Structures are given as C-alpha cells and as structure tokens.
A and B are shown apart, each in its own frame.
Chain A
Amino acid sequence: MTTPQARRGGFLLFVARHAIGLALAIMFLAPIVFLLLTSMMTSDQTLTADLWPHSWHPENYVEAFRRTPLLRFIGNTFLYAILATGFMLLASVPAAYALAKLRWRGRNLTMILIICMMMLPAQVTTVPLYMMWANTGLTGTLWPLILPMLAGDAFSIFLLRQFLVTIPDDYLDAARIDGCGEWGTLLRVILPMARPGIAAAAMFQFFYAWNDYYGPFLYTSENQENWTISLGLASFRSLHHVEWHLVSAATLLTMVPVIVLFFLAQKAFVQGVTLTGVKG
C-alpha cells in the first residue's frame, strides 16, 4: 500500500526523531555522568577542573555505607515516602473527584483555596507550623511531614482534578444508571480511567518525599534515629569541607531505587491508554 516515497519520508522522520532524542538524552544524562565520575575520585580531585578521575576509587561506595547508617536512613525514607504517598492519594483522589465531577455550592471557592495552599512561602509558614507540632510533641519524628498528607496535598489535588475533568461525563452517567453510588463510581469507573494522572501524582509525591531535605531537617535533625537519606548525605560535610566523592556516591546509590521505581511505574501510563481507548 505505502509508496516508496512515503516509506522514505517515514524513515527520515524516524532518524530525525531519534537524532533529537539522543541529543537531548546526552544533555539530560550529563549530571548523572558528572556524579558518577565524581563518586570515583579522591576527595582532593572533586570540584576541580579535571572531570575525569585520575585514579578510580569504587571503594568510595563502601566508604559511604561505612561512615553513616545509610541503610537505616533508606528505611526511614521509604517509610516517609510510602506513607506520605499513600495518605496523599487517600485524601486527594476523592477531593479531586468532588472538585471535578460533583456539583455543590462553594466548589470554585474551594478549588481556589486549594491552589492558594501552594502560595505561602515555606520560609514563613515554618514558624507557626513548627510551633503547632511542638505542642503535639511530635517534633523529632517524621510524623509532622506524614500526617498532613491525610488532608491531601494541594499540588496533587489540583493535578488530579485537571485530569479528571477531561473524562467525559457519559462514563459517569453510565455508572450511575448501573446503580453505583458516588463512591462506587469513583472506585469502579474513575480510578481505572485516571490511572496515568494518579500514577503521576503518586510518583511526584514519592520523589518529593525521597529528596526532601528541608522538612526532615527541620523536624528530625536532633534525632538521628529518624533521619532520612538527604540528612545522611549532609553528614559528609564539616565546617570547611565537603566530601563530594562520598556525597556523589551516596546520591547515586539512593537514586537507584527511585530510578527503578520510575522505570517500572511507566506501565501505569501505558495501561491508561488502552483503557481510555475503550469507549462505549
């Protein structure tokens, strides 16, 4: 059916796409390569103009583990990231559904207020919020960072709401005719259909918690039992010196789980397509 010209055009397009794709990939990969090279250097070579290690020191990775209880920190970080993500979804998905697909008074105002939750700079909210948590006696633990997620997260609610809005109402009406309540509709119809959006929101929350430094430092710096990885990374520094080779090694090590997770989580997007494609 296809003419040779069309096939050649398709081929050229393929080449062009991959040329751009590869160029961008190299650009995006540069920092990781930089970290990898730095993690193999001696302490003295880090941050110098020589980006290629004079001698290779894979033992830096062992040293990073020996110097701090990284495994414990990784465990804490998982706990924080998983609970925060789970709680966030529990509260945010229903809220986003109510904002996108239910009709009630005050809906637009609530939407704006939720967006407003992102607008106060953390530098300022820290003071009253820390005082609040100090009154509960939960400072020193990660709970002041996890528990608020039970009320949902503004960024995620907004994101999910924008995804749910794109789902045509016909699907919901069909479910209603089938006798589903609102919760039933959410669980049986919306949840499967909105999987790409939910997966994206969950990933952002997880990665945010994973890399969060400011929050864990504020609430747990005095209690090493509850430190996260980002705090552990900061311990490779003294007043006038940072051991960048160890920081880089530990950074890469802690990125591995999230990269794997991301690679696997991509399935959620692909499944999203097939389900959305089915239309009654």
Chain B
Amino acid sequence: MHRALKRRTTLVVGVAVALTMFSACTPAEAPKPIATPGVEPTGTVELWHFFTDREAKALDDTLARFKAKYPKVTLTVKGGQDDAKVTTAIGAGTGPDVAISYSTDIVGKFCAAGAWVDLNPYLQRDGVDLTAIPEVARSYTEFRGKRCAMPFLADAYGFYFNKAMFAEAGLTEAPKTLAELSDMAKKLTKRKPDGTIERAGFLPLFGFYENSPSHFAPMAGAKWLNADGTSAIGADPAWKALLTWQKELVDWYGYDKLEKFRASLGDEWSADNAFHKGKIAMAVDGEWRMAFLKDQAPEVQFGVAPLPVLYASHAGAGYISGNVIGVSRTARNPEAAWALIKFLTTETDSIVELSNGIRNVPTTTAALTSPQLHVDPAFQVFLDIFANPNSGTTPPSAIGPGYQDTLSEFLMAWQSGSKKDLAAGLADVDTRVNKMIELAG
C-alpha cells in the first residue's frame, strides 16, 4: 500500500504541476485584425471599475446613455474591483473586457505585457485627435510606444492656504516660490512657550498626508525617468535643490518636534484633518479636498493656487494623475469594448457629465472649456493646473511605482537626519531602481 500511496501522490502532484504550467503559459492570443470603419459594434462587454456608491451611480448614468446609443451591445458592469484582482483575473483568463483602474501604476506592466491591447490602430482608424488630451495625461497612459490605456478623468494637485491666517499675518497671496513658502511658513508658525509646535505654517515632512516626492516633484520640475526608462533621479539637479530646500525647512522646525506635532494631528480623511482644524496654514492637496472642506469645515476660508516653484519658469505647475481605462486582450468583442472606451474618454458630453458627477478633472481640451462643465473659480485653478505644460506626473514604468517607493524610503532617512549625504543617497536610489528595471525586463 505504501508504494501505491506514493504512486497516487506522485500522480496528483504531476497533474497539478502540469495544470499550472498550462494555465500560466496560456499563449498570448494573436492580435485580432480590427474591423473596417463604420461597422456597428455588437456583443457583450463586461466593465470592471473601482467606484462604489455615489460615484458608481454617477458612472451608471453615463453608461445608460452608452446603452441607448449602442443598442446591440450588452453591457455588464461590476463595481468595487481593485487592481490586484483585475490583474489576477485577466492573467487567469476570467477577467473583464474593459477595466478602469484608479492608478497609473499598472500602465507600464499592462502595456509591456500586453494585458491591455494597444489602442493605436483603433485611434488611427477612427481618426481620434489625441492632441485634444493635454500632454501630461497622454504620457501616463502609454508605455514604450504602446497606447494601451486612455485617461478616464484626472486628479490635479495644487496648493491650499488658509485665508484668515494669511490676513492675520498680513499676507495676501499664495507663495509663488519655495523661498516665499519657507518665509510664510515660518511667519505662520506658532509655538508654545516650551518650544513645541502649536500651529505649523507648512508641515514639510514627506509621508504626511499628501506630501510625497511625486506630488512635490513639479515644484522643481524634477525628473523621474530617462527616455530609456532608467532612473534620472540622481543626475537631475532639481531633486537636490528641492530636497535641500525641504530639509532646511524641516530643520528650522526640528525633526523631532515636527514628528511629535504630526502625531497629534487628526486623520487626513476625517473631519479632524489638520487643514480643516487650522493646525496647518498651508498644504499640498488634490482638488477633492475642496469638497471635503465645504462639507466638513464650511467655516474655513481657503484659497487655492498652483504649487510654489523653485524657478519662476515653472510657474503654474501641479501634480497630475488620473484613472485609466483599457481593453483586456481577452476581450470577447474588442470592437464593442473600444466603442465603450471611445464613448467614455473622447466624447465631450460624456466626459463633462462624468466630471460633473464624480467631481474629477475632465481630460480633453473641449471638455475643459465646455459651458456645461460646472466650474467655480477655485475649481478653475485646478483645471488650469491640469492644462499647464509645467505640470508633471509620475511616468509609467515596468516596476510600477517602484522608483517612487525607493526614493521615498531614502527620504524618510534623509529628513530624519539619519542619512546626510544627499548625492550618495540619490545615487544609491538610481542603482537600486535601475537594478529593478533591469530585472523586470
């Protein structure tokens, strides 16, 4: 029996292993030739997205118009999905035909691996003018010459300041340069008699709320990656200038005092947000913060502006990111899938409707200037940031956000003072990032 048992186990293992190798090695399907222009899209399309609740309802409204326009397409919609799930499911062949992701991090991988198909043939056939999309949004939806995604609304990050505190300190306008930001931050900071911080003009620690190197990079026009995909961080003097400025301001407060102050602040996503509560006078944040302020702290008089910059030539800049949408290579009806993407990302009416419903930034020039778009002066600031050529994003990479994570890790040691050699630290970041990129292939 012992031998029989062994044989049986071996058999089961053999079958199981064979199963992986088969399923893991599902060969890439040969690209299907695309249809001639004017063919009416038909068949089923399954769309997965991450929205829930109110945002999902807003999307459903727009999708209802798609259904009316393309009666021969049967659309199924599944909300609340995340990127890891979409990746696993597409890899196993059970994924959606079309997916919306909340992060541009997957673009590099999905384009390079062909998980999402190249949309260029469709765009060319249908004569879609891509220049209608600002360059920054075009850049985060393509990788190595493949346009495997389209931008589906965007987020713009700018600068928030507390008008009441500014008036109190005799200030009128948002800082335009980093030097002005430092000066104002010092002026607006209040300390208790024992030296602990009671109110910070600006809290410069990386890792605090939306303070990340990616959101700060456009302040100096700092570059992440070279054209060949390798790290540009160590060689770009803009990073050194930006980080030196940041460290100086951290040291003015004292790192330990800042950390202690930070620990006492409320959660970013609660009504106790430090900016709501007047614990900080200025902050870097996304356009959505306005909705929270109106809702949770209507008494706070705030102003918004582009990010303060290192050199005047970068004026008007902010950080841009957005949701992306693409067609899986396993899509059963690529034409219908493409029709959906075209409808959601290139037709002005749809984009305006989605922007009004979800309150994100629309992604085409026509939509940005559409009279139907609900705009107030504050929201206009973010629309301008989005359209500004100085604005920056985090470029797609084969290692996803690996290059940002690696820099962030060094910056934690940099701002606390445990690593003091900036040039060596950034060079080490380069080495590590390039190693990862080499391994990712």
Contacts and interface: CB of A to CB of B under 8 A. Distances in A.
A135 B85 CA distance: 17
Interface in A125-156: 126-128, 130-132, 134-135, 139-140
Contacts of A178: none
A241 interface: yes
B380 interface: no
Interface in B269-304: 269-272, 288, 292, 295-296
B78 A222 contact: yes
Interface of A: 44-49, 105-106, 126-128, 130-132, 134-135, 139-140, 217-218, 221-224, 234-242
A221 B84 CA distance: 12
A45 B266 CA distance: 11
Most B-side CB within 10 Å, residue of A45, A126, A130: A130
Contact of A238 (B55, B85, B296): B55
B24 A128 contact: yes
A51 B21 CA distance: 54
Tell me whether chain A's interface is mostly helix, strand or loop, or mixed: mixed
Interface stretch (B46-54, B346-354, B412-420): B46-54
B152 to A, nearest CB: 13
Given A45-B271, A239-B55, A240-B292, 6 more contacts: A106-B2, A134-B89, A135-B19, A238-B52, A239-B50, A242-B269
B280 to A, nearest CB: 16
Given A131-B92, A135-B23, A139-B92, A240 B85 contact: no
B197 to A, nearest CB: 17
A231 to B, nearest CB: 8
Contacts, number: 87
A218 B54 contact: no
A151 to B, nearest CB: 11
A224 to B, nearest CB: 8
Given A128-B24, A239-B50, A239-B51, A48 B271 contact: yes
B20 A222 contact: no
A126 B93 CA distance: 15
Nearest to B288: A240
B275 to A, nearest CB: 14
Contacts of B19: 131-132, 135
Contacts of B88: 126-127, 130, 218
Interface in B68-110: 78, 80-82, 85, 88-89, 91-94, 96, 102
A241 B269 contact: yes
A240 B288 CA distance: 8
28 contacts: A44-B296, A47-B269, A47-B270, A47-B272, A48-B266, A48-B272, A105-B2, A128-B20, A128-B24, A132-B20, A134-B92, A134-B93, A135-B23, A218-B85, A218-B88, A222-B85, A222-B96, A223-B78, A234-B80, A235-B52, A237-B52, A237-B53, A238-B51, A238-B54, A239-B51, A240-B269, A240-B288, A241-B292
B270 A235 contact: no
Contacts of A239: 50-51, 55, 102
Given A218-B88, A222-B48, A47 B267 contact: yes
B16 interface: yes
Given A139-B94, A238-B54, A48 B270 contact: yes
Contacts of A236: 53
Given A47-B267, A105-B2, A222 B81 contact: yes
Contacts of A242: 269
A95 B298 CA distance: 64
Contacts of B271: 44-45, 48
Interface in B1-30: 2, 5, 16, 19-20, 23-24
Contact of B266 (A47, A223, A234): A47
B20 A134 contact: no
